[in-house]
């Protein structure tokens, strides 16, 4: 059977080539993702090794006790005093122990006197600013030129940042922090590790005192330890742990590097899962092609299988042969997909490298990429070929005596019953999710949507056949007899035509769903900015706004009001929740909160968002919030319409009781009447540029445009990933038509014999292709918009207020579908029009 399978594939490779390409396209996403993330992990693993391998032991805050940080490059609060450093230095086996301190800030470019709109000041981010020890094992850097900082006011930079920023030895280097801009003399350059592979960061070293000043922290964030020759690292780590304050730890450099690499790999796993999800979508669409291909092949080989059964071949052996053919196709296609995926990963790495530099390690094909690729490719192909294989195994020996190789067609009764049940079940789950009052309605909507799509896919034949019959008159008037024959061909093979259209339907449905969601998201974003009366938003490229910057803005002529939004986290009922802190007396003048009552009635209470309301908390209840700086019991004085701001909103005094110093990440400015907005922006920015160049202003319209551009970029990325599924769907249309032409060889020959022109054959195939493509697209758009709307409604608690239909995209999809239908028909139509009339008539079946 295996030899027969190989010979069958070798004898007629053309009928399987598009199937193989469909599988290869899906597999390539898997291979590309794993190769890309493996190279990224390798690059950062090398970086972590260079950072930590030179230091024998690292003393740091215990990650389990530390507050989670969204920015891995951000300097944390110092936890070690000079006494702690001395205590570590006295431990047996410790040769050297030096405290390490890092400051948050950005190394700016030279002050040219020219105004810049770059919120990062031209220095780029992140900038890593550390104290200089002069010991290469501790600093992880070696001097290349000049010397290290020996007195306050001196700085060294890494060798790549100096030319990139535009500095030369002896120049004055500017560093911006929350406290303002400080200047230092460039006295040397260093190379980090062996190759200065900083993955795009700027590395700077200052004296111990200067970094403490910039960080505004007398303590150290870590302690670097070098051991004496022959000392047992594990034993010294245990001894160091005994002298450390609570909430800190000691760990070897090797273990720290491995820990960081593992943490990065966990993040990259989500990237792989994301890519595999889209690969599965592509392979799911490809499954329709595989089913159609093998079903047509089985039909074309009915007499062959009948003869095999007549000479003693069992149904099980025929089934095995078909499945072995599928395995052969899967292995060949997966191999092509792996090669294509590797090339795709190389291209993606090159593209990323243009923007952020070389952050990748060796671009090798990892074992998991190979296993996932062959595993998914083989599994999907085998499962898809199973039903046609079962059908082939039931062919009786009497089929060999038939004059035609086409067996009888099975009715669609069972398919319609199953499809109807699934469609009703899916629609029911979506309805329950939207109106059942469940805590997480989007889970029910998502599950119902998946089931509904499968049900509609099975029912597609019930819609396509009547539609083709109904369109026969229109197609006849438009394309004469060619259109009529095209409609009849679709109606004659409803199962095959429906599967072909369904493949395109799924791809378009996902595109329409994403487009509906993103268009609705843009509506929400626009509503947010339309709800503000502020003339400017104040932001910082470093995240938190320094208090001095806000004071500077308040002192500018023409500024009527500056109101700020603080953020933080509190614990309620044992669960961490988001907290917004506002000045209730002024925030309403700049921004309209969707709350009941208005936010100026907040008082010393708290407003709660829907997720807290769902817990049974009501207006008038007293609740206890626990923050890092204190615990308060407050009355619920109002409710928020959604959770787009935070789950809790409190006034500034209450926020200070909970958080202490409140981190401000956004302020809003109101100008006095008659002040020109553009002139005021220039004036305020000039006032900030001297001490706070990392703080910048944005008009609401500018931020809205930026946010919408980001959403469009997100739509573009997802659409690009779904493009693989759409290409596969178009290949499915071409594949179905191509195999259909082969199956209808005698019929086409007879049509040509009675006078049908080649152009008419071409037009008949093209119309057939366009009808299936447009039908799949329209059905996909209806499903996509409907399910996208349901998803948006299910996310009402997150600020969505109704769905926005992307009419422009729907028109584009329809036009592209018609064009795709024409393109998909080119090869099949060309083959059909070029058939030799006499040979076609003489064809068996």
CA angle at residue 584 from 581 to 585, to 5 degrees? 145
With both helix axes pointing from N to C terminus, report the angle between 700-743 and 758-794 in degrees, rounded to the nearest 10. Answer: 140
Residue-wise pLDDT tens digits, 361-396: 778 888 888 998 899 889 888 888 888 888 778 877
The secondary structure element, H or E, covering residue 172 is strand 172-177
pLDDT of residue 219: 92
CA torsion through residues 577, 578, 583, 588, sign = negative
CA distance 220 to 62: 14
CA distance 619 to 606: 9
Q: Which residues contact 530 (CB under 8 A, 6 or more apart)?
A: none
What is the SS3 assignment for 39-84? HHHHHHHHHHHHHHCCCCEEEEECCCCCCCCCCCCCCCCCCECHHH
Alpha helix (H) residue ranges in 311-412: 315-356, 367-393
pLDDT of residue 188: 93
CA distance 582 to 575: 22
CA distance 793 to 576: 26
- Joined tokens for residue 482: 């060619």
pLDDT of residue 743: 67
What DSSP state is assigned to residue 312? T
The secondary structure element, H or E, covering residue 261 is helix 253-300
pLDDT of residue 626: 92
pLDDT of residue 338: 92
Question: How many other CB atoms are found less than 10 A from the CB of residue 71?
Answer: 11
Report the Cα–Cα distance between both ends of the chain, in Å, rounded.
25
DSSP string, 218-230: SSBSEEEEEEPTT
SS3 251: strand
Query: What are 173's strand-pairing partners?
Result: 184
Task: Give all strands (DSSP E) within 525-675, no chain letters.
Answer: 536-540, 559-572, 575-582, 595-596, 606-608, 622-627, 630-640, 648-651, 664-671
Are 426 and 450 a contacting pair, CB within 8 Å? Answer: yes
SS3 506: helix
Q: Residue 759: exposed, middle, or buried by beta-carbon count in 10 A (0-12, 13-18, 19+)?
A: exposed
CA distance 48 to 192: 12
Q: Are strands 606-608 and 630-640 parallel, antiparallel or unpaired?
A: parallel
- In the chain, which stretches have pLDDT less than 50? 70, 72-73, 113-125, 403-408
Instruction: Report phi then psi at 663, rounded to 5.
Output: -70, 125
> Considering just the CA atoms, what is the radius of gyration of the chain in Å?
34
Residue-wise pLDDT tens digits, 197-249: 666 678 999 999 999 999 888 999 999 899 998 888 889 999 999 999 888 99
Alpha helix (H) residue ranges in 531-674: 547-554, 587-590, 610-613, 652-659
Instruction: Calculate the CA dihedral of residues 85, 89, 92, 94 and round it to 10 degrees.
Output: 110
pLDDT of residue 116: 41
Nearest to 742 by CA among 606, 646, 666, 835: 835
Are 803 and 445 a contacting pair, CB within 8 Å? Answer: no
- Joined tokens for residue 461: 């034949």
Are 19 and 388 a contacting pair, CB within 8 Å? Answer: no
| pTM of this structure | 0.68
Q: Which residues contact 416 (CB under 8 A, 6 or more apart)?
A: 458, 459, 461, 462
């Amino acid at each position: 059977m295996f030899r027969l399978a190989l010979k069958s594939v070798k004898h007629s490779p053309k009928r399987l080539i598009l199937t193989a390409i469909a599988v290869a396209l899906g597999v390539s996403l898997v291979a590309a993702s794993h190769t890309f993330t493996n190279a990224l992990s390798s690059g950062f693993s090398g970086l972590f090794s260079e950072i930590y391998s030179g230091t024998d032991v690292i003393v740091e805050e215990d990650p389990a006790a530390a507050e989670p940080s969204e920015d891995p490059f951000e300097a944390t609060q110092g936890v070690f005093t000079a006494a702690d450093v001395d205590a570590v230095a006295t431990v047996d086996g410790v040769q050297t122990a030096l405290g390490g301190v890092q400051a948050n800030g950005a190394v700016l470019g030279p002050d040219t006197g020219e105004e810049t709109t770059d919120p990062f000041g031209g220095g780029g981010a992140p900038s890593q600013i550390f104290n200089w020890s002069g010991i290469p094992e501790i600093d992880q850097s070696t001097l290349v030129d000049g010397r290290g900082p020996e007195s306050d006011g001196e700085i060294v930079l890494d060798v790549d940042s100096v030319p990139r920023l535009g500095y030369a030895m002896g120049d004055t280097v500017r560093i911006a922090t929350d406290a303002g801009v400080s200047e230092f003399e460039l006295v040397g350059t260093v190379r980090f590790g062996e190759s200065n592979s900083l993955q795009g960061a700027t590395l700077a070293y200052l004296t111990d005192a200067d970094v403490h000043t910039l960080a505004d922290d007398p303590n150290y964030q870590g302690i670097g330890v070098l051991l004496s020759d022959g000392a047992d690292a594990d034993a010294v780590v245990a001894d160091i742990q005994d002298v450390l304050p609570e909430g800190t730890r000691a760990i070897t450099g090797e273990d720290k590097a491995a820990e960081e690499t593992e943490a990065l790999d966990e993040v990259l796993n989500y990237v792989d899962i994301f890519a595999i999800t889209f690969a599965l979508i592509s392979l799911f669409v490809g499954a329709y092609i595989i089913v159609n291909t093998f079903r047509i092949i089985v039909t074309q080989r009915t007499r062959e299988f009948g003869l095999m059964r007549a000479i003693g071949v069992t149904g099980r052996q025929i089934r095995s042969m078909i499945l072995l053919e599928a395995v052969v196709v899967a292995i060949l296609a997966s191999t092509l997909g792996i090669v294509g995926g590797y090339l795709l990963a190389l291209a993606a790495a090159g593209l990323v490298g243009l923007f952020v530099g070389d952050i990748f390690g060796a671009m090798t094909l990892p074992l998991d990429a190979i296993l996932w690729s062959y595993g998914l490719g083989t599994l999907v192909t085998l499962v898809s070929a199973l039903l046609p294989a079962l059908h082939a195994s039931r062919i009786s020996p009497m089929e060999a005596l038939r004059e035609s190789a086409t067996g009888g067609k099975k009715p669609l009764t069972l398919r319609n019953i199953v499809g109807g049940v699934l469609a009703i079940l899916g629609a029911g789950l979506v309805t329950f999710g939207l109106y059942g009052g469940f805590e997480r309605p989007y889970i029910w909507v998502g599950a119902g949507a998946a089931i509904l799509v499968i049900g509609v896919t099975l029912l597609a034949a019930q819609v396509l056949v009547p539609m083709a019959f109904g369109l026969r008159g229109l197609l006849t008037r438009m394309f004469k007899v060619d259109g009529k024959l095209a409609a009849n061909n679709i109606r004659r093979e409803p199962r095959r035509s429906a599967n072909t259209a369904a493949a395109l339907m799924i791809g378009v449905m996902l595109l329409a769903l994403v487009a509906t969601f993103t268009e609705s998201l843009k509506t929400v974003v626009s509503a947010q900015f339309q709800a503000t009366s502020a003339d400017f938003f104040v932001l910082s490229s470093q995240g938190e706004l320094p208090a001095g910057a806000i004071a500077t803005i308040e002192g500018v002529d023409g500024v009527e009001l500056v109101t700020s939004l603080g953020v933080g986290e509190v614990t309620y009922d044992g669960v961490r929740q988001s907290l917004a802190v506002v000045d209730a007396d002024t925030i309403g003048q700049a921004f309209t909160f969707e709350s009941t009552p208005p936010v100026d009635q907040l008082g010393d209470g708290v407003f709660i968002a829907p997720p807290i309301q769902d817990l049974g908390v009501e207006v008038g209840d007293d609740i206890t919030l626990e923050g890092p700086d204190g615990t308060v019991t407050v009355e619920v004085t109002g409710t928020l319409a959604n959770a787009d701001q935070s789950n809790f909103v409190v006034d500034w005094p209450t926020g200070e009781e909970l958080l202490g110093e409140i981190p401000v990440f956004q302020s809003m400015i109101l100008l006095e009447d008659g002040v020109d907005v553009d002139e005021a922006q220039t004036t305020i920015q000039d006032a900030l540029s001297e001490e706070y160049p990392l703080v910048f202003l944005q008009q609401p319209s500018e931020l809205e445009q930026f946010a919408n551009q980001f959403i469009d970029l997100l739509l573009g990325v997802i659409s690009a990933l779904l493009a693989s599924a759409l290409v596969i769907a178009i290949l499915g249309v071409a594949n179905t038509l191509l195999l259909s032409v082969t199956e209808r060889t005698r019929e086409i020959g007879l049509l040509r014999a009675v006078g049908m022109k080649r152009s008419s054959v071409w037009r008949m195939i093209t119309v057939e292709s366009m009808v299936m493509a447009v039908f799949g697209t329209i059905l996909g758009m209806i499903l996509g918009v409907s399910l996208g709307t349901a998803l948006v409604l299910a996310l009402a608690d997150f600020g969505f207020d109704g769905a926005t239909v992307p009419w422009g995209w729907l028109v584009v999809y329809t036009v592209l579908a018609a064009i795709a239908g024409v393109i998909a028909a080119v090869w099949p139509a060309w083959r059909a029009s070029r058939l030799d009339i006499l040979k076609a008539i003489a064809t068996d079946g």
